[in-house]
Every structure is written in C-alpha cells, then in structure tokens.
Amino acid sequence: MGLSGWVRNQVDGVVGQVEGEKSKIDHFLARLSSEAPSSSRIFSIIPVEVDSTDRPTGFQIRFSQDRGDQITLVPPDLRLCDDCKNELLGESRRTGHPFINCTLCGPRYSIIQQLPYDRVHTTMSKFVQCSQCQKEYIRLSDRRFHAEPNACHECGPHYIFKSLAGDFSGMSCVSVAVDVLKKGGVLAVKGLGGFHLVCSALNEGAVERLRMEKHRDQKPFAVMFRDRDQLVSYVSLASGELDVLMSPEAPIVLLVNPPYRSLAPNVNPGLSQIGAMLPYTPLQVLLMQDSDIPPLIMTSANIAQEPLIIDDALALAQWGERLDGVIVSDRAIHNRCDDSVVMIIDRTLHMIRRARGYVPDPQYMNDVVEGIMAVGAELKSTFCLGREKLALMSPHIGDLRSPSALAFFEEVFDRLCQLFRFSPRLMVHDLHPDYESTRWALKSGLPCIGVQHHHAHIAAVMAEYDVRQKVIGIALDGVGYGDDGTLWGGEWFESDLLTYDRIGHLPYLTLIGGDRAVNEPWRLALDVLIEHGVSDVDVIRLFSDVSPEKLVAVINARRSSVPYVKCCSAGRWFDAISALLGYCSVQEYEGQAPMIMEQAIDSIDGPLAPYPFGKGAIPSFYPLIAEMLIDIEAGISRGLMSRRFHDTIITIIHDWAVVSRERSGINQIVLSGGVFQNRYLLTRSIEYLKSSGFEVLCSERFPINDGGVSLGQLAIAAARMKDKESICV
C-alpha cells in the first residue's frame, strides 16, 4: 500500500507502527481486519497517533526481545490449509509430503518447547532447512515466510509404517496403510498431538477388535470422513456444523442429525448421533485419498483412562505386536493434545472438550490474574494459569483419579510453567477435600483458596463474557461439594464473582452404595421409587434386568437406618429417570444413561409438555413420579416420557428465573454445568428463557462441563484478591 512501518509480537497482542497518508492508513486499518488470515483472531484494533523519531523505511518485523518474564502467545495447532492441500495432492515439489505446512497451518503448540516461538525452540530444530525451504522462509511475500515448521521431502521429517511384515517409508508407507485399513485392519498412527488408533468405521469386526484393544466397551467413537462429500453421503448437516468442521481448529463436532446411512453398529452403541471430523494433518489427507476408503474411526491411542501416547517407542511397545501396523515419525510431539469436541447449537459453537486447535489460546481477563494457579475439578480435568491479564487454560487432561492422568497433569503444569514463565503464588482449588487436584494444591505449600464447585461453573461463564454484576446462575451438574458438606448439583444461585446465594435446588436423592450408584443408575431409580411410596413387589417388577436378590438387598439397605450420602445433582436425576424408563440401568461411561434417554426423545416440535411437579425453591417430584409410573403402566412411548421429563426440568429452570427476576430485578441468567451438554435441554431452555425476555449466557469457548471449572476458580480468586486490596486501601 506504499506505507512503511514495523510490527512486533508481544504478550498483549501485536503492536505495529505505520507511517503514511492518513487516508491510506485508514484504508490499511480496514483491510487489516477484513483481509486477516483465517487462522488469526482479532479481538480489537486500537489505533493511536504517535510522534516518533523512529521512522523506518519499508517494512520490518521486529523480533520480540526476550525480556525475562515477558511472554508472547503460543499459537494452537491448525489443520492443513487448502493451499497446502492443493500442493500436497497436485504437482509440486511437495507432492505427497506428509509434513507440508505454511504460516496458516500445521503444528504449533504440540511442537513448541520454549519461547519465543522460533524453529530452534521446537521439535523441528534438528531438521535443517534445505536451500529452497530457506528461501521461502526468509522471503516476505512467501506464504511460508517464517513458517517455523517449514519442511519438504528433502529436508523434513519422514513417516515409517512399522509392522511385523516389515518397515515401509515414503509413499509406500501410505499405500500399505490404506491397504490394511481397507482390509479391516487396525493401526496406530502418529497425529499432531498424539497417536490415534484407526480402523474402518464400517467394519464391525475391526471396531470390535479396536474396542477390545482399547478396553472400551461402549463409549462412542468419533469418525473421520474424507471430505464434505463423503460426510454428507452419510448424514445431513445442520446449519453451522460444516463451517466448524472446516475451520482451522477442525474439532470433532457432535452432529445433531443421526446418520441415514449406517456405520458399523458398534461405533456408537445405543446412541443415534455421531461425532464427526475431517482430516486435519497431511498424513490423514493422504490416507483418505483412495476412492474406496471408508470413513475411519480415529480415537486416541491410549488404554481406557491413560493419557494419550505421544512417544514412538511407547507406541511401538504398546501396539507394535497387537495391531497391524504403527506409523511413527522422526518429528517429536512435545506437548500432548487430544482432539477437541464441540457441538453447534443455533449456529453457535459450544465447547465440550477443549484441546487441539484451541489450546493455548488465552481468555482475556479484566483483572490482573498474575501468579494464580487454578487447579480445576477432578473429572475432565483442566487447570488455568494466570499471567498478567491472561487466563491460560491447559488442554483437557482427563480423570485425575487415574495415577497416570495425575502424572500428565504435572507434566502439562511443568511445561506450561516453562513455556509461559509462570511461577504460582496462589493455588485455587475445589472445596471437595478428596479431589486429587485439591490434594495437589494443598501439598504445594503455597497459599490456597477453596472455591465452591458450582459457583466456579457460573463464574467460568461470567469470565468468558466479562460479566461483573449479579446474575441468576443455574448449575445443572454431576455432584459437587457444597459449602454445607452435602453434595450439590442442581443449583439455583444469585451470584457475582465474590459471593453467591443458594436460593433453591432440585430435591435430594440417596446414593445407595455410594459411588456404585453413579455407575448403576438403577440404584438411584430404586431410591426414587421407594421415596415415592412404591411397594417392594412393584419395585422388583419394574426392574426386570436386575436380579431380584440384588434388588431385595438394596431395598433392605435403603430401608435400613444406614446414613447414605444424599445429593441434589441434576445429573443423578437424569441417571435415575433413564434407569426408571428402562434405557440404561448400568452405565459404562459417565453420561451414558442421560445421553441414551436424550437421543430417544420422540419429537422436538411443539410446545413443552412438562409433568406436574410441586413448585418452589425446592420443587417436589412426587406428582412427577406418580404420573410417570401411570405412564409406564399404560405403556406410553418412552420417547414421549423422556421428552416430558426434560420439559419438566426446563420449566423448573424457567420458573426459578422468573421468581429471581421478580425479587431481585436481575435479568441476566447463566446456564452452566455438565448436564447442559444435553442438547435438547440446553436448546429448549435457552429458547424458553429468551421468549420471556431473559438474557441467557452459557459458555462457548470453554467447556460447559467440569473442564470449565478452572477458569471460574481463577476468576473468583482474582475478584477476591482485588476485593481484599480495596478493603486494605
């Protein structure tokens, strides 16, 4: 544009100086956002006029001086861009090069070892660029200008297919792998943030074998489709889904419509919907080029609750002799990162599992959060570091009750501390004394702050939208530790970041058998029946799939004076009703029972049809259960009963909101907690509340489930610290 100036990366964004005619500069500023690269994220552009003696001619990139504790942001890993894909598949010097990338695509977070983000600080450092790559790297007009992982056939890394039949590299690595997959084989394949286990999603035998190897009986698998055409030949996409599937982040999208062409039935047992993704690495694109390649299962190559495998030697030791091949490469993965999972509601993205493509993008906070380490919850663990005004959330870590996940937590913590030059001064943890994360925080020897679980859920959303004033907070969740020592999870709050009033909650359930009641929802349903006056004979009749001896034992336990733990968790209520309606009496993974019940809902058209219930701050479910039992006896469609139960919960949320608005004047409502991963519940709740004029907020960029708790903890701790300072002043 005939302007001159310079640009530099710094922690709070990009700073540049532009010199030239005023009208040209205005045009430049407009083009800056309208023509920004697809992988960039512009939050705001703040022009400031300066008088400067520093007047460069031409254009300079000024390198971030390494100033001790200063940091720059680390970009997330991004899917192969269309230009690179065309080069990969067309005629170019990188035809078939499985590590092709440019400034718009390729690995970032997964390969970076330290700041600043330069090639020497990544796992690409051992590959010296050939003269042609080097030319691209230093030529300003080239789309590989400063693409740190830049590489080609000559100078870049290589994949090797290793199997008992021998090793294959180059193009035969791909062709041999494709052959194995088409014949129903199972492979382990190195990806961006870890290894995947891969097999045909149409071959029931292959999927069965993968399930056995991975020790995963029923939890659904995500499916990778070659491209848009292959995907729409299986399932019709809802509005907004394709955009997200094809976005640079390329997450797994939980599609709203069930496939109309069948995949192997054991891909998603008992469920109708699937999680889909499109190829995002050059190798995945190459593997799926064959016109006969079926959709592929792509699931992390770990066993059950173990962390993702990233290491070649470990992958070979684990899978080398058990599978039909392992594809390894000499480009190391430094930072483990799972595939992200999202769903789209009303064209808006809602995060379920936040990792590849999104991590480590920060949340900009209004308060200084420097030195705060929020350790999160326990299941779906993430943690959050505070640097200056940035909240940096770790990738999804998993269930900390597994010792190896806890080791992963520590590994990520060490790496992010190093990467972001972070040293913790304050630990923020859940009130639950038995969470591994709480124990870890308390052991640190640093000052600690405890935060109530559901307050953190609400605060996470407030942080995302920078809300300060009081909101109506509805947290429908699994169980979380309440500040009265009981287990909460169906909460109605009025809260800001500092405080919360618990105005009401769902009725309490008894967890007969403690944790076993979580895995065996029939125990919860049995408690509900006994509580609602159903006779032992009828209870035994209603549970045809549980042995009568077991039922009698549990009934006796329930009627005994043993003080069982009680909770008012919405998640446990959904579990109980799913078991009562006969959908799922034993669940293999968290959320299975409610997912099956939700996906069975008959029709989502028409007005809400709730069951009757006793209105109030603690609603009574006696009328609901009584009528549901009549429906069960009358053989009413279970899909309709499922829908009516959902509609009841939606009506309760709405009633609570109306009461809160009347007493306090608050019109802003936050919905949070893992139960809102239920698409029907979330969609219809938002619709109903909006129709009554409420402003409804729920998380988009951070998980609505326990993965978002760490962000809420950080926001609450920052608010408390600021409050303390203001009191001291």
Specify whether the CB–CB gap between 426 and 371 falls below 8 A: yes
Nearest distance from residue 582's CB to Zn ion, in Å?
51
In whole angstroms, give the CA distance from residue 661 to residue 375.
33
Strand partners, 247: none
- Asked whether position 152 contacts Zn ion by CB under 5 A, the answer is yes
Closest CB to Fe ion among residues 475, 524:
475
Q: Which of 338, 477, 496, 655 binds Fe ion (CB under 5 A)?
A: 477
Residue 105 contact, options Fe ion, Zn ion, none, Cβ 5-8 Å cut-off depending on partner type = Zn ion
Q: Give all strands of the β-sheet with 4-10 in edge-to-edge order.
A: 13-19, 4-10, 59-61
Specify whether the CB–CB gap between 40 and 29 falls below 8 A: no
In whole angstroms, give the CA distance from residue 489 to residue 356.
29
Closest CB to Zn ion among residues 105, 253:
105
In whole angstroms, give the CA distance from residue 676 to residue 239.
20
**How many Cβ atoms sit within 10 Å of the Cβ of residue 535?**
10
- Asked whether position 155 contacts Zn ion by CB under 5 A, the answer is yes
Is the link from the previous residue into 307 a cis peptide, with omega within 30 of 0? no
- Asked whether position 105 contacts Zn ion by CB under 5 A, the answer is yes
- Asked whether position 496 contacts Fe ion by CB under 5 A, the answer is no
Give the contact letters, 687-706, x = binds to Fe ion (CB under 5 A), - = no. Answer: -------------------x
Specify whether the CB–CB gap between 220 and 270 falls below 8 A: no
Residue nearest Fe ion by beta-carbon distance: 477
Residue 477 contact, options Fe ion, Zn ion, none, Cβ 5-8 Å cut-off depending on partner type = Fe ion
Residue 655 contact, options Zn ion, Fe ion, none, Cβ 5-8 Å cut-off depending on partner type = none
Closest CB to Zn ion among residues 154, 217:
154
Short-list 75, 110, 81, 37, CA closest to 285: 81
Nearest distance from residue 450's CB to Fe ion, in Å?
15
Closest CB to Zn ion among residues 3, 155:
155
Rounded to a whole number of angstroms, the distance between the first and last alpha carbons of the chain is 51
Closest CB to Fe ion among residues 102, 682:
682
Specify whether the CB–CB gap between 636 and 625 falls below 8 A: no
Task: Kindly give the pairing relationship between strand 348-353 and strand 296-300.
Answer: unpaired
- Asked whether position 430 contacts Fe ion by CB under 5 A, the answer is no
Closest CB to Zn ion among residues 127, 611:
127
Pick the piece of the chain touching Zn ion (CB under 5 A) from 96-104, 256-264, 495-503, 596-604: 96-104
Pick the piece of the chain touching Fe ion (CB under 5 A) from 20-28, 336-344, 471-479, 612-620: 471-479
In whole angstroms, give the CA distance from residue 538 to residue 544.
11
The two tokens of residue 133 are 């790559």
- Asked whether position 81 contacts Zn ion by CB under 5 A, the answer is yes
Nearest distance from residue 201's CB to Fe ion, in Å?
31
Instruction: Report helix angle 638-664 to 570-580, nearest 10.
Output: 160
Short-list 14, 190, 9, CA closest to 111: 190
Instruction: Report helix angle 570-580 to 521-531, nearest 10.
Output: 90
Strand partners, 254: 275, 343
Residue 706 contact, options Zn ion, Fe ion, none, Cβ 5-8 Å cut-off depending on partner type = Fe ion
Site for Zn ion in 697-726 (CB under 5 A): none
Closest CB to Zn ion among residues 135, 425:
135
Residue 102 contact, options Fe ion, Zn ion, none, Cβ 5-8 Å cut-off depending on partner type = Zn ion
In whole angstroms, give the CA distance from residue 285 to residue 277.
12
Pick the piece of the chain touching Fe ion (CB under 5 A) from 126-134, 224-232, 329-337, 473-481: 473-481
Q: Which of 71, 84, 245, 390 binds Zn ion (CB under 5 A)?
A: 84
Residues in contact with Fe ion by the rule CB under 5 A? 477, 706
- Interface residues toward Zn ion, by CB under 5 A: 81, 84, 102, 104-105, 130, 133, 152, 154-155
